[in-house]
Structure 1
Amino acid sequence: MSEEANVQGPVMIAAFEGWNDACQAATNVVRYLVKRYESREIRHIDCDGFYDYQVARPMLCHVSGRANLVWPQTTFYDITLDARRHLYAQIAPEPNYRWMEYCSQSLHIAEELDAAQVVTMGAMFSDCPHTRPLPVALSDGTHQCECDREYNGPVGIPTVLDMAAADRGFSHASMWVSIPQYLGSDDCAAGTMRLLDALGKRIGFTFDTTELKRKAEQWKAQASVLVRCNDQLGEYVEHLERDYDLKCKADEEAGLGTPQCEQLVREAEAFLRQMGE
């Protein structure tokens, strides 16, 4: 898929906490945009009927000496990027029940807002090195990334919402960033920044990621310290780096369009699949 799509009209992005959100990289896209740009809450979806409160528990907080319960909910924001452009953002814990009804309500709100496109975002743990740009998989209604073409298995609410958007006639896309699985579950600013870069290319806008760049460098430095302290982990990361570089080289040569290069890509992909088995 070409990352630089000509998107006319406002876009609604959606990210969900939980299984679909390794290191909070996807939902932190929404949080970062809300913090960095002028934004306001414009819609909500009532939590009743969609959540198991033993899984997504309400939170107790004290404000001005009074105790308040904060229930899980879906919030929609209107985010002003500049004088001519804004986007909508949906953020929520992944619902536990009635996904199709939930998606229907979400898309009804997108229709009310006259959104031109729905873009779902997710983050997944994967075998990739922290020393290279984190892989981003992008798919839309006409182009699917390789992982989408070959994957068979369980999915989360972003995939269901994306498919529901397609059925409802929306222009739609999904973006997933891979996070090194050996680094645990701390926030990953590098993953958030990669999703923002991909979104910016798609809508033709350059986001201010100055704060994220600093945090991403800190994340990378901390990961490198961890790797240096563990010889076995260091060997594993070197293996991931070789695989990553081989795949990048094959993709680059395939861009020349020769049959030999296409064969090289197939051989490289087959090799990587064997290494993962």
Structure 2
Amino acid sequence: MDGLSSLLHPGSAWGYVPAGLPLVVLLTGYRDSGQTVRQSMETMIDHGESDIVATFSADALLDYRARRPIVTIDGTEVRDYRIPRLDLRLMHDSLGQRYLLLSGYEPDFRWEEFTKTIVTLVRHFRVSTTTWAHAIPMPVPHTRPLRLTATGNREDLVEQLSVWKARVEAPAHALHLLEHALMQAKEPVASLVVLVPHYLAEGVVPAGPLKLIEALGTATGLLIPTEDLREKDRVFRAEVDAQIASNEEVQRLISVLENQHDGFLKGTPQENPFADADGELPTADEIAAELERYLSARRDRDE
């Protein structure tokens, strides 16, 4: 690529990226309630084949004093020195569909140059859509399905997924600047924001990545395995419920949150998670057709 940014170092898969793939961007650091982004990123990398398309320079983008590298000391020797990574990978989902995943840390420095570099990559690889995500704490109960809010210029997707729309001013994520730049460039982009129960947001909440990966499937058509996360979520829910069972004050708080949550969603398409954007439930024939499409795709993949 002409004029390759000094922030970027091409990897082994640079010359093998097909045009028109979706790009998913998951960066950890800021706004990751319930460690939703980190868990989603690890799930996608662990369950998919990947090749490095490019790596970004930590020396240029990372504040080492805020996020220090990790050393391994064995006796009297430093055996290993690990710096946080920010990579662009060529990935495959469960059906063999290829996509690009930009994952790692949120840059501390040079946001504008980083943004220009990603916009250039989007154009160079003729990316079909860009989808990024983060998670924030909200006064919602863990006893209800997690919800999303969304922004971007993919209006149908935003309307379908977003449960909360408001005019707010808040500290920015580096990817807010990227989203703004892609919208200015008329490139399809959407951000997905998982709303995590505020009283659980400091822990590891498996329901967060479950919701996010589901929404990424809606946004990109990708199928990412979530069996491990579902088992972790069952264990996590049982532990939380056991702790709440002995605390009447917390039970009352959650009851209030449930009433507020249900009242807010009443009459909206999001009141029923199986409803479409118009609030209509799928018919039995539609469910059967979707199941057959999925099974057929799995058979083709296995063969």
Q: TM-score range by the shorter chain?
A: 0.7 to 0.9
The answer to whether the 8 A contact 1:103-1:164 is kept is yes
Which residue of structure 2 lines up, in the alignment, with residue 141 of structure 1? 153
Provide the C-alpha distance between the structure 1 equivalents of 2:111 and 2:44, rounded to a whole number of angstroms.
Answer: 26
C-alpha deviations, 1:190-211, integer Å up to 9, x for none?
A: 1101011111122234432111
Name which of structure 1's ranges 67-76 and 38-47 shifts more when overlaid on structure 2: 67-76
* Among 198, 205, 221, the residue aligned to 1:204: 221
Shift of 1:51: 2.0
The answer to whether the 8 A contact 2:131-2:219 is kept is no
- Is 1:73–2:99 an aligned residue pair? no
Alignment-mate amino acid for residue 170 of structure 1? E
In structure 1, the gaps of 5 or more residues are: 1-7, 258-277
Provide the C-alpha distance between the structure 2 equivalents of 1:255 and 1:88, rounded to a whole number of angstroms.
Answer: 31
The answer to whether the 8 A contact 1:120-1:161 is kept is no
Which residue of structure 1 lines up, in the alignment, with residue 208 of structure 2? 191
Name which of structure 1's ranges 40-49 and 200-209 shifts more when overlaid on structure 2: 200-209
Task: Please show how residues 85-164 of structure 1 align to structure 2 within 5 Å.
Answer: 85-143=97-155, 145=162, 147=164, 149-164=166-181
Which residue of structure 2 lines up, in the alignment, with residue 3 of structure 1? none
C-alpha deviations, 1:226-266, integer Å up to 9, x for none?
A: 22232222211111111111122231589679xxxxxxxxx
Shift of 1:101: 1.1
Which residue of structure 2 lines up, in the alignment, with residue 57 of structure 1? 68
- Scaled by the length of structure 2, what TM-score is found? 0.74
The answer to whether the 8 A contact 1:138-1:174 is kept is yes
Provide the C-alpha distance between the structure 1 equivalents of 2:199 and 2:113, rounded to a whole number of angstroms.
Answer: 36
Provide the C-alpha distance between the structure 1 equivalents of 2:28 and 2:115, rounded to a whole number of angstroms.
Answer: 15
In structure 2, the gaps of 5 or more residues are: 1-18, 272-276, 281-303
C-alpha deviations, 1:138-190, integer Å up to 9, x for none?
A: 22205354755422222212222211222233210110101111124222211
Shift of 1:42: 2.0
- Is 1:31–2:42 an aligned residue pair? yes
Secondary structure, counterpart of 1:227 in structure 2? helix
Secondary structure, counterpart of 1:41 in structure 2? strand
Provide the C-alpha distance between the structure 2 equivalents of 1:148 and 1:27, rounded to a whole number of angstroms.
Answer: 25
Count residues in correspondence: 249
Which residue of structure 1 lines up, in the alignment, with residue 292 of structure 2? none
Provide the C-alpha distance between the structure 2 equivalents of 1:112 and 1:35, rounded to a whole number of angstroms.
Answer: 27
C-alpha deviations, 1:201-228, integer Å up to 9, x for none?
A: 2223443211111111112122212222
Which residue of structure 1 lines up, in the alignment, with residue 58 of structure 2? 47
Provide the C-alpha distance between the structure 1 equivalents of 2:53 and 2:72, rounded to a whole number of angstroms.
Answer: 23
Secondary structure, counterpart of 1:25 in structure 2? helix
Flag the 1:81–1:226 CA change in 2: closer, same or farther, 3 A. Answer: same
Provide the C-alpha distance between the structure 1 equivalents of 2:199 and 2:136, rounded to a whole number of angstroms.
Answer: 12
Shift of 1:58: 1.3
- Scaled by the length of structure 1, what TM-score is found? 0.81
Kindly, what percent of the aligned residue pairs are identical?
A: 20
The answer to whether the 8 A contact 2:37-2:209 is kept is yes
Shift of 1:130: 0.7
Provide the C-alpha distance between the structure 2 equivalents of 1:157 and 1:38, rounded to a whole number of angstroms.
Answer: 27
Flag the 1:133–1:256 CA change in 2: closer, same or farther, 3 A. Answer: closer
Alignment-mate amino acid for residue 27 of structure 2? F
C-alpha deviations, 1:14-42, integer Å up to 9, x for none?
A: 11212221122123222101111212222
Flag the 1:92–1:22 CA change in 2: closer, same or farther, 3 A. Answer: same
Name which of structure 1's ranges 176-185 and 235-244 shifts more when overlaid on structure 2: 176-185
The answer to whether the 8 A contact 2:268-2:279 is kept is no
